[in-house]
Amino acid sequence: MQLTKNTPLIFPLLGGLVLLFILAPLASMLLSTTPVQLFDTLHESEVTASIWLTIWVSMATTLLFAAGAIPLAYILARKNFAFKSLVNGIIDLPIVIPHSAAGIAILGFISRNSALGKAASLVGLNFIGHPLGIGVAMAFVSIPFLINAARDGFSGVPYKLEQAALNLGASPATVFFTVALPLAWRNILSGLIMMFGRGLSEFGAVIIVAYHPMITPILIYERFNSFGLQYARPVAVIFILICLAFFLLFRLLVKKKYAKT
């Protein structure tokens, strides 16, 4: 209560304007779409296939790259080494570079003429126009969110707890899995949610690597360009509602897990 009394009146006013700025376009789009339009759009196989593709590729990519991102975050939180600041800067690069440029960079990295593309072709794989290519593009632009969140979580774990476990004879791996990981889990889970959500929304990098099969952001763009706002809006509303449902579910899981700890 004391904090509320000491808060300048202008702060909630300015905060309310920011919230209105976020909510107004979304509310306008939702109110401009009829239930019949949503129902008819949901019965289009192209739409449902696109939404399913977007969800499972983003989720699979998040879980796969987490296997390397979380240990890297632990190293960044616990170890001091040469060029550590440079490594942190490299991790943040995908956030600041244009995503169309990211897509071009990824295309050169996974094309059939690249070393990775040639290796994949030996086993009959082609990243271009394939869910694998979509996953690589999603991971490139979203993995910084997981690494940064996990690093902050590990930094908040008291080092003396890990040192005590080491003194009692636990191996570094045991300390990581039984001390650091459980205590940093809330931040890690938040990072996983952010990485998954960023992958769901990616457009610029994916459209260069794999226009087809279409993920939902590209499908919305395609319908808007070909048929206009009225045809694209129902798909956008459905996808936003699905993303919102995922985020509410994941946030509830984080809150529930945090309440138990």
Domains of the chain: 38-260 (1.10.3720.10)
Question: For the CA atoms of the chain, what is the radius of gyration?
Answer: 22
pLDDT band at 261 (very low <50, low <70, confident <90, very high): low
pLDDT at 260: 60
Query: How confident is the model over 213-232, as a mean pLDDT?
Result: 95
Q: Which residues contact 252 (CB under 8 A, 6 or more apart)?
A: none
Virtual torsion, Cα 82, 185, 61, 238, nearest 10 deg: -130
Half-sphere exposure of 5 (CA within 13 A, CB side): 2
d(CA 175, CA 61): 27
pLDDT at 1: 43
pLDDT at 194: 92
Q: Which residues contact 192 (CB under 8 A, 6 or more apart)?
A: 62, 66, 146
Q: For 144-199, how does the pLDDT look when each residue is reduced to its tens digit (9 = 90+)?
A: 999 999 999 999 999 999 999 999 999 999 999 999 999 999 899 999 999 999 99
Give me the percent of the chain exceeding a pLDDT of 70. Answer: 95
Q: Give the pTM.
A: 0.89
pLDDT band at 252 (very low <50, low <70, confident <90, very high): confident
Angle, to 10 degrees, between the axis of helix 35-42 and the axis of helix 45-78? 80
pLDDT band at 256 (very low <50, low <70, confident <90, very high): low
Query: How confident is the model over 97-123, as a mean pLDDT?
Result: 91
Task: Please provide the average confidence, as pLDDT, over all residues in the chain.
Answer: 91
pLDDT at 4: 56
